[in-house]
Amino acid sequence: MDPKKIMQIFEDTAYVHTGGSAEELKAAEYIQSVVAGMGLEASLMPFPVDMADIHEAVLEVDGVSYPCKGFRNAGSSTVEAPFYYLTNTDRYSLEQCRGKIVMIDGFMGFWRYHDLVEYGAVGFITYSGNCNCPDRDIDQRELRCFIREGKRIMPGVNINVKDAMEIVRSCAKTARLTLRQDEYTVDSRNVILDMPGESDEYIVLTAHYDTTSLSCGTYDNMSGSVGLMGIAEYFAAHPHKRGLRFVWCGSEERGLLGSKAYCNTHEEELKKIVLCVNMDMIGSIMGKFAAVATAEEKLCDYVAYMANEYGYGIETRQDVYASDSTPFADHGVPAITFARCAPKGCGTIHERYDTIALMSGEQMAKDIDFIIAFTDRMANAARCPVAREIPDNMKDKLDGYMNRKRPAGK
């Protein structure tokens, strides 16, 4: 793909487009228009996602009010209780949560929320950002559907890390949380392009195009979305024995909702899919190229050998990757994710610093060319060489990732 065209697409899509928003639809339609420019026709596949309008979110700590954003889908209520900062997750620390408004480090994941409910917390605070950055941005968070499902709902807010540090430094005693919101359902969308081949078998190619609330998502993941466009452009002009199905996934940042919706509604088609090729963040100026296979380990060796033949630096490993490849692997489809992993400081994501400034049109073109070369081999192989099964060690990791089994230390 032409580096200038790539950078133009990045400029055209440099706005926040979170899953389920009108802006996400705008980005989906933009992808359709680029694909139409190649003489191809992509369709939209809607799927329902939770949404909420926050009317009031107030956090007061010892009488001082701090800027905050309420967690979507965490109900509407007011609680006042002692403040507790949960630093560790040993039993002693967790037992201190009872009856308190608890601040945690990091993301509100499945097991952390499970613990807070189990140990009797009455409200929660998360924080985000970087204390060394000048902004005081606050990410819009939500109590994800699969986290709150079947559990007691308690109110929560997200605050900026600088305020979180101030609250802890001041040895806060009491917190008061008010959250008022309307909760409802809207459509998010996958963008689907089907390119049938000579045989029944398919390769599915995925990349998410949605962003988080503060980011215009150029690196994470319009880069992978452009990767899909580049691969589509190539195969529009080159033969492929196997069919190719391109899925630009919506609402990935909300918990892989687009790829999960696709897998849950295409059970029959999934049987014909021999491989999932996913891209999540490629083409950054800085950083190493990696391939992560949720498949037999031989695939890692194959890609590493191929990169040597091709003349391309790569690191391969067998693992579960936190991206749209995972629902496919969880449905038994061997999956591989390609990513160029930028070092900390020159490849930040999920915040305002994920911009075109991180990106290289030339590096994008090179990364896409390598993924095309790999896809061409798989699409035109006499027999797809990747075993269509998920090895036990990966099934184990999938159980952990999908919250069916608690991983050690989580």
For residue 347, the minimal CB distance to Zn ion (Å) is 12
Direct distance between the N- and C-terminal alpha carbons of the chain, in angstroms, rounded to an integer:
41
**According to CB under 5 A, which residues from 209 to 238 bind Zn ion?**
220-221
How far apart CA 349 and CA 402 sit, in angstroms, is 23
Give 179's Cβ-side CA count (13 Å radius): 29
3-state secondary structure of 359: strand
Point out which residues pair with 47 in neighbouring strands: 188
For residue 351, the minimal CB distance to Zn ion (Å) is 13
Nearer CB in complex with Zn ion: 28/167: 28
Residue window 325-364: x/- pattern of binding to Zn ion, with contact defined by CB under 5 A: ----------------------------------------
Q: What angle do CA 200, 206, 209 make, to 5 degrees?
A: 145
For residue 281, the minimal CB distance to Zn ion (Å) is 6
Per the CB < 8 A criterion, the answer to whether 152 and 114 are in contact is no
The CA–CA distances, whole Å, from 185 to 50, 53, 190, 329 equal 5, 11, 16, 27
Per the CB < 8 A criterion, the answer to whether 299 and 338 are in contact is no
Nearer CB in complex with Zn ion: 66/246: 246
Nearer CB in complex with Zn ion: 139/220: 220
Nearer CB in complex with Zn ion: 215/316: 215
Nearer CB in complex with Zn ion: 181/363: 363
**Residue 262, token pair as written in the block:** 């696709």
For residue 252, the minimal CB distance to Zn ion (Å) is 6
For residue 221, the minimal CB distance to Zn ion (Å) is 4
Question: Is there a cis peptide before residue 308, judged by omega within 30 degrees of 0?
Answer: no
Residue window 173-212: x/- pattern of binding to Zn ion, with contact defined by CB under 5 A: ----------------------------------------
For residue 208, the minimal CB distance to Zn ion (Å) is 6
Nearer CB in complex with Zn ion: 221/259: 221
Nearer CB in complex with Zn ion: 221/363: 221
**According to CB under 5 A, which residues from 257 to 296 bind Zn ion?**
280
Q: What is the DSSP letter of 215?
A: -
The H or E element containing residue 277 is strand 273-279
What is the total count of residues that contact Zn ion (CB under 5 A)?
3
How far apart CA 340 and CA 356 sit, in angstroms, is 15
**Residue 340, token pair as written in the block:** 């160029």
For residue 317, the minimal CB distance to Zn ion (Å) is 18
Can you give the binding site for Zn ion, defined by CB under 5 A? Answer: 220-221, 280
